[in-house]
Amino acid sequence: MDKVKASWPLAAHPSNRRLVLGLVGTLMVCLWCFVGFWSVWERHSVFAATEQSMEQLNAAVEEQTRGLFKQAETFLMVARHWVQAHPDTDPGTAAEFLELVDHMRNVSGGRLDIRMVTRQGILRYIPDRGQALRTNVSDRDYFRAQQDPATKGYFIAKPVLSRVTGKWGIPISIPVERAGGDVAVLFVAIEVDSVSDIFESERVKPNGTISILRQDGVFMFRSPMETSVLATSIADTATWKQHLGAVGKGVYQTGQAVVDGRSRMVTFSRVSGYPLVVLVSVDIDDLLGAWRVHTLALFFVALVVSVFCMAFGRALLGAMAAEERVRGELEHLMLTDPLTGVGNRRMLTQRLIEEIARAHRYGRSLTIAFFDIDYFKRINDRYGHPVGDTVLTQVAACLQGQLRKSDHVGRFGGEEFVVLLVETSLEDALVLVERMRAAVAALHFPDMPDPLTISAGVAEACAGESAQDLLQRSDRALYQAKANGRDRTCVDRGAD
């Protein structure tokens, strides 16, 4: 038994270890699945909620834009009606017309201003105090559009930088027939700076944008103001071809916006009744800022919980391993003879039951040898119990040293030892027993000059025989050996 052949566990039992690892692993998998699910779900929710609010904002911007251009169109219609109704009056000096224009200017909050262009392309302000004298705008598309039958009529021109005020404006022109003062074109200039104030308060801060484009892809307006893009066209870009110029309204995401290269979610729609497209965008980094903070916080919490779970699992495994060690030590003590270190009677009984069952199951041999130290009481009486204990210890070690790894030896009680010879026939067992008896006889003890001998009784298991019967037969053979003079081996052959 390698001193009971007991190697008590140094770690938790494999099944317990698997259970703990399984529980900790399952908990961590569930935890991180929850983190992943929550992160994906919240991100989706953020995009869904933002898309809805952006569509609402886009609708509001569309309505404001339509109202602004409708107001400009109304002002132009009213002004043209007055001019054409007074063909012999110069509108630039007529008090009634000046009062009308001033009223419309006040109604628009100063965002709209009506101006005139003569047939020669000379710009005239209202009232005309010579501030635009000799300023020729015949090259401007809002004037040229009225000279071309294909574009003549209500025309929204590209934004222009005023040659008089130095400010950006969006001209909207109409032709005039039969007008005094040589006026051929009336146009409303929408001051970009004043319009910017409206939309600046509505855009999503800090990096959201609101833009107005013409249906041919020309930038009319952008908030925050980016004058470098005004009057430029994006009609050749993939964004225009796939989204803005392809459908009437929609939502899309872009990894690189045309103007600033930022990732954006964009909602857009065409303005009813006007050749315009409004865009409202939000920066993806702004949009996901709170989500990233929440995800990072949740990730940190999950990481802390994971570390705690691993530490708890490790501590639990350690506690279970300690319990296994204690249990193993107790089992070792229960099955070990404290004096000799070999197995005790309990161990022998357990092993004998196991081995005889195995022998019957597989049809293999099992032989048992029952040893008794000759005249052991005399040794104790003559030399003392310490010497007797030494004899017992040395005999146990000697018997153990002669066995194979599959065999078992134990102290049955007092000076008696039992050896289980697994898969060993009676004939082979007798050879081993004699070898063990010779090894015991060769032992020398300084405090005991008398020779030491040992008697043995041997029995081989018969078919269907119980462990108790086999043990009794070997014990009977031992008594026969002692009755025949000791220092010998006797055999009980059972039914034979």
What residues are labeled active site? 415
Instruction: Give the whole-angstrom CA distance, residue 193 versus residue 116.
Output: 21
The radius of gyration of the chain's CA atoms, rounded to the nearest angstrom, is 54
What string of DSSP letters covers 178-229? S-GGGEEEEEEEEEHHHHHHHHHTTSPTTT-EEEEEETTSBEEEEES--GGG
Instruction: Give the whole-angstrom CA distance, residue 226 versus residue 209.
Output: 10
End-to-end CA distance of the chain: 32
Residue 283 backbone phi and psi in degrees, to 5: -70, 130
3-state helix, strand, coil in the chain (%, to 5): 50, 20, 30
Say if CB 208 and CB 281 are below 8 A apart. Answer: yes
Which two three-digit tokens encode residue 200?
């600046």
Helix (H) or strand (E) holding 273: none
Q: What residue has token string 């040898």?
A: 369
Q: How big is the chain, counted in residues? A: 496
Instruction: Give the whole-angstrom CA distance, residue 133 versus residue 468.
Output: 133
CB within 8 A of 165, min separation 6: which ones? none
Helix (H) or strand (E) holding 412: strand 408-413
Which two three-digit tokens encode residue 422?
């697994």
Strand 416-422 and strand 366-373: the pairing is: antiparallel
Task: Say which DSSP state 277 is in.
Answer: E
CB within 8 A of 60, min separation 6: which ones? 202
